[in-house]
Amino acid sequence: MSEEIKNEEIIEEEVVEEVSEVAEETTGATTEKTDLELAQEKADDFENKYLRAHAEMQNIQRRASEERQTLQRYRSQDLAKKILPSLDNLERALAVEGLTDDVKKGIEMVQDSLLQALKEEGVEEVETTTFDPNLHMAVQTLPADDDNPADTIAQVFQKGYKLHERLLRPAMVVVYN
Amino acid sequence: MSEEIKNEEIIEEEVVEEVSEVAEETTGATTEKTDLELAQEKADDFENKYLRAHAEMQNIQRRASEERQTLQRYRSQDLAKKILPSLDNLERALAVEGLTDDVKKGIEMVQDSLLQALKEEGVEEVETTTFDPNLHMAVQTLPADDDNPADTIAQVFQKGYKLHERLLRPAMVVVYN
């Protein structure tokens, strides 16, 4: 802060009365007049900038944290999806006639360990009791009757899977309607 | 901004000389003196806060971006690790005597599709040419000779896997030394 400005401020009380009339005509003083105004404007400006930056920072942190949680929660989605055909193949292998007990046991072990690995990551089979278009794809329909009311699932062609609440693939089903 | 302060600033040039001597003794003027100083201090203070907040914001964004990339790159790590025992079981199943061609083909299909899924996520088998303690675990050693120099791998008991440059598990090997 310049010495000039300090002096100017200090003398205010003594001289403010006698100069009040000439003040408006003193155009050369405009620069001095704006020193305080400018400082206050600058202070206000940076206060606003600071507050905005601070709020934005919190938003960024919040968004980053949410994003991190989502990434963590669904991190296994791609690999899990790619593993599903292997599960289908294992089921088909188990359906082959004339498997020895050893081979059957071996295939079941692989199947169990895959299902267990997927389960630990949040992957579950889609339930197939009542038809739900969000979870099932009807590849065939049968006429509903008294024993089999509409939306009852008659048969599952291929199992569906979901990761937490996200569908990895729908179950392929035959449904009464 | 008060009228008083405006006047004070305007008259600076006219009176600054005659009041310079009394300025230091005029204690009552201290409040006025600090108006501009306070405003400038406040401006400096918020400018610093703003600059710090801005720099911190960029750091947070950079760190969040790096973290996101790492999470993406290694997202399949846990599921991949859990799938490795299934691959072991498939290899053991294929080694069983007297498999029919159909069963063998079925098991190989599962094996291929699992390996393909893992490969697409960045998982690869650990190479087993020369012994590397970062990639291999020596479960047994054989005496090295002219045909088999030290650090040559004699046999692989269990395959090792890595996800990009991260080791998921070491290969279990027999090594000459």
Closest by CA position to A68, among listed B71, B10, B121, B4: B71
Query: The domain spanning residue B83 has which CATH number?
Result: 2.30.22.10
Our count of domains for chain B comes to: 1
A156 min Cα distance to partner chain B (Å): 21
Query: Does residue B113 sit within a domain?
Result: yes
Of the CA atoms within 13 Å of residue A173, those in its CB half-sphere come to 26
- Using the Cβ of A97 and the Cβ atoms of chain B, whether some distance falls under 8 Å is answered with no
Q: A92-104, pLDDT tens digit by residue?
A: 888 888 888 888 8
- Using the Cβ of B91 and the Cβ atoms of chain A, whether some distance falls under 8 Å is answered with no
Query: Does residue A50 sit within a domain?
Result: no
Q: What value of ipTM does the predicted structure carry? A: 0.72
- Using the Cβ of B12 and the Cβ atoms of chain A, whether some distance falls under 8 Å is answered with yes
Q: A4-37, pLDDT tens digit by residue?
A: 444 444 434 443 344 444 444 444 445 556 788 8
- Asked if A6 lies within 8 A of B23 by C-beta distance, the reply is yes
Q: What is the pTM of this model?
A: 0.73
Q: A110-149, pLDDT tens digit by residue?
A: 999 999 999 999 999 999 999 999 999 999 999 999 999 9
Query: Does residue A41 sit within a domain?
Result: no
Tell me the percentage of chain A whose pLDDT exceeds 90: 63
Query: Does residue A10 sit within a domain?
Result: no
Query: What's residue B97's pLDDT?
Result: 81
Query: Does residue A16 sit within a domain?
Result: no
Are A107 and B90 contacting, i.e. CB atoms less than 8 angstroms apart? no
Q: B102-115, pLDDT tens digit by residue?
A: 888 888 999 999 99
Helix (H, G, I), strand (E, B) or coil at A88: helix
Query: Does residue B23 sit within a domain?
Result: no
Mutate which: A2, A12, A63, A109, vs B, most B CBs within 10 A: A12
Using a CB-CB distance cutoff of 8 angstroms, which residues of chain B are in contact with residue A163? none
Using a CB-CB distance cutoff of 8 angstroms, which residues of chain B are in contact with residue A78? 75-76, 120-121
- Using the Cβ of B104 and the Cβ atoms of chain A, whether some distance falls under 8 Å is answered with no
Query: Does residue A129 sit within a domain?
Result: yes
Q: Where are the beta strands (DSSP E) in chain B?
A: 123-125, 136-142, 153-158, 161-163, 166-169, 171-176
Query: Does residue B136 sit within a domain?
Result: yes
- Using the Cβ of B108 and the Cβ atoms of chain A, whether some distance falls under 8 Å is answered with no
Give the helix, strand, coil percentages of chain B, each rounded to 5.
60, 20, 25
Provide the β-strand partners of residue B117.
Answer: none
Query: What's residue A10's pLDDT?
Result: 40
Using a CB-CB distance cutoff of 8 angstroms, which residues of chain A are in contact with residue B75? 71, 75-76, 78-79
Going residue by residue through chain B (177 aa), what tens digit of pLDDT does each one get? 444 444 444 434 443 344 444 444 444 445 556 788 888 899 999 999 999 999 999 999 999 999 999 999 999 999 999 999 999 988 888 888 888 888 888 889 999 999 999 999 999 999 999 999 999 999 999 999 999 999 999 999 999 999 999 999 999 999 999
More confident residue, A59 or A5: A59
Domain that holds residue A152: 72-176
Burial of B17 (0-12, 13-18, 19+ CB in 10 A): exposed
- Averaged pLDDT of chain A: 83
